[in-house]
Structure 1
Amino acid sequence: MNISSQLTLTARTTPMKEAYIFEGDIKTYAELDAAINAFASGLERIGINRGDHIGLVVGNSPFFVISLYGAARIGATVIPINPIYTPEEMSYILKDGDVKAIITLDLLIPHFEKLHSQLPNTEQYIICKTQDGTKKVAEYELDTFTIKPKMKSFTEVLSSGSISYEGPELRDDDVAVILYTSGTTGKPKGAMLTHKNLYRNAKDSADFLKMNDQDKVIATLPMFHVFCLTVALNAPLMNGATVIIVPKFSPQAVFDVVKRHDATVFAGVPTMYNFLLQSPAEKDALKTLRLCISGGASMPVALLKNFEQKFNVIISEGYGLSEASPVTCFNPLDKPRKPGSIGTSIVNVENKVVNELGEELPPGEVGELIVLGPNVMKGYYKMPEDTAATIRDGWLFTGDLAKMDEEGYFFIVDRKKDMILVGGFNVFPREVEEVLYSHKSVVEVAVIGVPDPEFGEAVKCFVVTNEPVKEQELIAFCTEKLAKYKIPSTIDFLEELPKNTTGKILRRALKEKLGV
């Protein structure tokens, strides 16, 4: 079984059930499955076959869903790419990923015209027509573009296929998706996720979160990111739920779809919850939600408590990474949640904390979090040495520092590489961030280490506040709650913190700004 065949099974058993809602357009499972069949068949007609690599450069839309599942149905491998990347950023991924065809938006045609000479192996460009792109495409001198002979419209491919198409029989270990990591160190690496990885993690996550066919799940996280891909797209579709596709996050967009469609599940990163909390919305604005899911970064305890108190909906914080498809932990729904914890291992996945020798540590001790399960990637594309260093005896070494309590709840302490060493003492940025988040004036905070001639490193903070506050006031606030070596030496006030497309605060961008 894989995500594509499971969707077909759902379409046969509940054909009239709503599969997705997109800006007022509603498609049933039967309609979605027929479109996937037609698109898969259309891909084969233009020469895209099992094992070929397809770059998917579109935003949150039915284009993404049909393309992903259509490619999976023929056994092709999808490489999702952020559509706001520059041509240079896309170039590395497309070349390294050996992409044969690219599915993209009409707005991005000029990008690929610039890249075309660098992509000699790319044979097809499938163009998705957008409302914003219609006028701009008319301004292009397409006849002069070298890629024009290779361009076909998404609609053309879709209409040329057969809705009764039956694809090849796929193997569990066939690579379905290659996700390029954010590249916090060096160039991005392509994590190869198999059909088994995606199916099992989606199914196990849905079971853990008790998703069912009555759920309506908001997908406003970027679909090209693994968090949305598994938790807000594949997981609900595995269980016959309805996906509400939101093209771009905004607090008002979330409040609107909750009210209009009686949404029941929302998945987001801490920054999104912060924006929702800071909005002037009434406390009943999210009243139909039964569950909120947080991942992508550690959620400050103060933010979690304030959000739940205001909107009367629980947040289940979890943990994952691209290399694990991504989910390994969630706070359980049938047992006490622990603020600040990423929860317990989901079914079929084992997490443990080890020392530098790979030996398991007792509860309470900090070490590296490692993961074992059917969700662990096949490896990094064309990087056998990096694969061998990351996956050892089946265990995925995450690079995150964590600890486990006596009841099996895990707590992320920090990234190994983000740890600050002050005069021989370890300082974990998150610990300092948690304290500052508890101050009434602080909205966002990021902590990094900077060189210090006396202590080796010093703690530096960047904060966004909702009212004027002095640096010394915040330092004094920290002095009451932290050991002396953990107290920030300096605090910079910013209008906003740098974030990636999922809203995750980027400490590395702050370090680069300072040249550290």
Structure 2
Amino acid sequence: MNLSEQLSLTAQRHPAKDAYIFQGQRVSYQEFDATVTKFASKLSELGYGKGDHLALVSGNSPLFMIGLYGALRAGATVIPINPTYTVDEMSYILKNGDVKAVMTMDVLIEKFEVMDRDLNIGHYFVADTGIGVDLDTSSLNGKMKSFTSVVAEGCLDYETPSLDDQDVGVILYTSGTTGKPKGAMLTHQNLYSNATDVADYLQFNSEDRVIATLPMFHVFCLTVCLNAPVMNGGTVLIVPKFSPQEVFATAEEHQATVFAGVPTMYNYLLQTGKEQAPTFRHMRLCISGGSSLPVALLESFENQFNVRVSEGYGLSEASPVTAFNPLDRPRKAGSIGQNIKNVENKVVDELGEELPAGEVGELIVKGPNVMKGYYKLPEETAVTIRDGWLYTGDMARQDEEGYFYIVDRKKDMILVGGYNVYPREVEEVLYQHEDVTEVAVVGAPDPELGETVISFVVSKNPTLTEAQLNEYCRNHLAKYKVPSRIEFMSELPKNTTGKILRKNLREQLTNSK
């Protein structure tokens, strides 16, 4: 079984159920499945099939859902790309990923005009966003086809090519915080197993209505908000771009039952939603991932909106989910939970030996969701996957009840005078201060101590001083963990998923010298 086959099965079981709702448009599973088949048939007719790489460059929209499932049904490998990437960033992935065709939006045509001469693209399947872009004047006109027309020209009498579980379905390029991004090859088994296991673990059902405001090109949204609901006939509520007002409005209008977001989203919802708590009254579950959710933020959100927030853990190389706080047992604040079904997490030392409960080491994972490897990078693959275990690069510990806690990224650890300082520990303390709304901690070189702790803070109190915060930290942290410097900012740099970019903050420190 793979994602495309599961969609057809769901359409048979729930033909009239809404598969997705987008800007007032409701599309049933029967309609969605038929559209996917028609798109796949036309792709096949145009010469695209098993093993061909097709890029999907789109925001949250029906184009993404139809493009993903249609290309998979045709046997192609899908490479989702962030539509806000620059020409250089996008061009690298298109070249490195050996992309043969692109599914995209009319608003991005100018970017592809710049890149096309250096690429080997056969067709651009372009969706009309309704903003009046004149496609007839494009230099790509000979290669462009209207996405809507292509779907309309497809047929329902189409025989899907035979696919093996180990065939690559999706290549996800990592964010590339160090060096060039790497393409994680996710097989049909990887994608299907994680979607079904997540749906089972989080008890998704046909009555669930899941808000998809995380970027669909990101693996968190791809699996949790898109593929997992499809497993059991849930409805995807497509929100093109995150805004607290849009999330509240969507939750209210469609009686949403599940929301998934990253910590910064929860922070924005909390800060702007004191009068909006009733819009979440149908919500049975809020899911947090992407980075660690500060305990103070989690508890404040739960109290304000009267809804449970369960934190989990995942990474692109694992399709992505490996651990989650269980729904049928206590949720532990600050924990990423326990192993999900069919996946094993383990904390090990530098020799790969499992550590006892309470000790900090590297988190490694194993299961049917672990990637096949990095595209065209066998050496990188060999370093990351050893004896079937995926080495995540995250430092963690496990308690006596099997709950895991992420301490920090291995590369983010700060070494102060021989002592390990984990940024998250300092951030958790600062988040508890009533005037702090956002914080990020990084290390900076120090001639005497090796490294020193630097904190970047966003405060809602313009009179808050560095001295006051330092005093607060000294009351809650060992001396070597107290920031040697605190920088106040109006906002912290983030990527398109809302994850705080520590790399940018480190660069800012370097440039300010």
User: What TM-score range do you get, normalising by the shorter chain?
Assistant: over 0.9
Deviation at 1:378, TM superposition (A): 0.3
Deviation at 1:13, TM superposition (A): 1.8
1:141 paired to 2:137: yes
Alpha-carbon contact 1:200-1:375 (below 8 Å) kept: yes
The superposition leaves residues 79-111 of structure 1 with CA deviations (integer Å, 9 ceiling, x where unpaired) of: 000001111110100000000001111111110
Looking at structure 2, the residues matched to 497 and 56 of structure 1 have their Cα atoms a distance apart, in angstroms, of 29
Q: How does 1:437-448 map to 2 (within 5 A)?
A: 437-448=431-442
Structure-2 residue corresponding to 1:126: 125
Q: 1:335 aligns with which of 302, 315, 329?
A: 329
Structure-2 residue corresponding to 1:471: 466
Q: How does 1:20-419 map to 2 (within 5 A)?
A: 20-119=20-119, 121-132=120-131, 134=132, 136-137=133-134, 141-142=137-138, 145=139, 147-279=140-272, 280-419=274-413
Deviation at 1:148, TM superposition (A): 1.7
Deviation at 1:197, TM superposition (A): 0.4
Looking at structure 2, the residues matched to 324 and 191 of structure 1 have their Cα atoms a distance apart, in angstroms, of 9
Alpha-carbon contact 1:353-1:368 (below 8 Å) kept: yes
The superposition leaves residues 429-486 of structure 1 with CA deviations (integer Å, 9 ceiling, x where unpaired) of: 0000000000000000000001112111110000001112011000000000000000
Looking at structure 2, the residues matched to 467 and 253 of structure 1 have their Cα atoms a distance apart, in angstroms, of 27
Deviation at 1:150, TM superposition (A): 0.9
The letter for the 1-side match of 2:248 is F
Deviation at 1:12, TM superposition (A): 1.2
Looking at structure 1, the residues matched to 234 and 277 of structure 2 have their Cα atoms a distance apart, in angstroms, of 26
SS at structure 1 position matched to 2:322: strand
Deviation at 1:10, TM superposition (A): 1.0
The letter for the 1-side match of 2:233 is G
The letter for the 2-side match of 1:275 is Y
SS at structure 2 position matched to 1:397: strand
The number of residue pairs the alignment matches comes to 509
Looking at structure 2, the residues matched to 164 and 447 of structure 1 have their Cα atoms a distance apart, in angstroms, of 57
Structure-2 residue corresponding to 1:509: 504
SS at structure 2 position matched to 1:217: strand
Alpha-carbon contact 1:273-1:307 (below 8 Å) kept: yes
Deviation at 1:166, TM superposition (A): 2.4
Looking at structure 2, the residues matched to 267 and 249 of structure 1 have their Cα atoms a distance apart, in angstroms, of 11
Alpha-carbon contact 1:34-1:164 (below 8 Å) kept: no
Looking at structure 2, the residues matched to 127 and 10 of structure 1 have their Cα atoms a distance apart, in angstroms, of 28
Deviation at 1:397, TM superposition (A): 0.2
TM-score by length of 2: 0.98
Looking at structure 1, the residues matched to 346 and 108 of structure 2 have their Cα atoms a distance apart, in angstroms, of 44
Alpha-carbon contact 2:248-2:276 (below 8 Å) kept: no
The superposition leaves residues 411-439 of structure 1 with CA deviations (integer Å, 9 ceiling, x where unpaired) of: 00000100000000000000000000000
Deviation at 1:14, TM superposition (A): 1.7
The letter for the 2-side match of 1:271 is T
Deviation at 1:368, TM superposition (A): 0.3
TM-score by length of 1: 0.98
The letter for the 1-side match of 2:4 is S
Alpha-carbon contact 1:399-1:416 (below 8 Å) kept: yes
SS at structure 2 position matched to 1:362: coil
Deviation at 1:137, TM superposition (A): 2.4
SS at structure 2 position matched to 1:496: coil
Looking at structure 2, the residues matched to 323 and 281 of structure 1 have their Cα atoms a distance apart, in angstroms, of 39
Looking at structure 2, the residues matched to 222 and 104 of structure 1 have their Cα atoms a distance apart, in angstroms, of 15
The runs of 5 or more residues in structure 1 that have no matched partner are: none
Looking at structure 2, the residues matched to 502 and 164 of structure 1 have their Cα atoms a distance apart, in angstroms, of 39
Structure-2 residue corresponding to 1:14: 14
Looking at structure 2, the residues matched to 203 and 281 of structure 1 have their Cα atoms a distance apart, in angstroms, of 36
Deviation at 1:512, TM superposition (A): 1.4
Alpha-carbon contact 2:345-2:365 (below 8 Å) kept: yes
The letter for the 1-side match of 2:473 is C
Looking at structure 1, the residues matched to 423 and 206 of structure 2 have their Cα atoms a distance apart, in angstroms, of 41
Looking at structure 2, the residues matched to 92 and 259 of structure 1 have their Cα atoms a distance apart, in angstroms, of 41
Bigger shift: 4-13 or 225-234? 4-13
Alpha-carbon contact 1:37-1:166 (below 8 Å) kept: no
The runs of 5 or more residues in structure 2 that have no matched partner are: none
Looking at structure 1, the residues matched to 308 and 30 of structure 2 have their Cα atoms a distance apart, in angstroms, of 33
The superposition leaves residues 44-93 of structure 1 with CA deviations (integer Å, 9 ceiling, x where unpaired) of: 11111111000100110000000000011011000000001111110100
Looking at structure 2, the residues matched to 508 and 461 of structure 1 have their Cα atoms a distance apart, in angstroms, of 13
The letter for the 2-side match of 1:6 is Q
4+ aligned runs moved over 3 Å, structure 1: none
Q: 2:492 aligns with which of 490, 497, 510?
A: 497
Bigger shift: 48-57 or 280-289? 280-289
Deviation at 1:283, TM superposition (A): 2.7
Looking at structure 1, the residues matched to 95 and 302 of structure 2 have their Cα atoms a distance apart, in angstroms, of 45
Q: CA RMSD in A?
A: 0.9
Looking at structure 1, the residues matched to 149 and 46 of structure 2 have their Cα atoms a distance apart, in angstroms, of 11
Looking at structure 2, the residues matched to 205 and 303 of structure 1 have their Cα atoms a distance apart, in angstroms, of 24
The letter for the 2-side match of 1:8 is S
Percentage identity across paired residues of the two chains: 66
The letter for the 2-side match of 1:166 is E
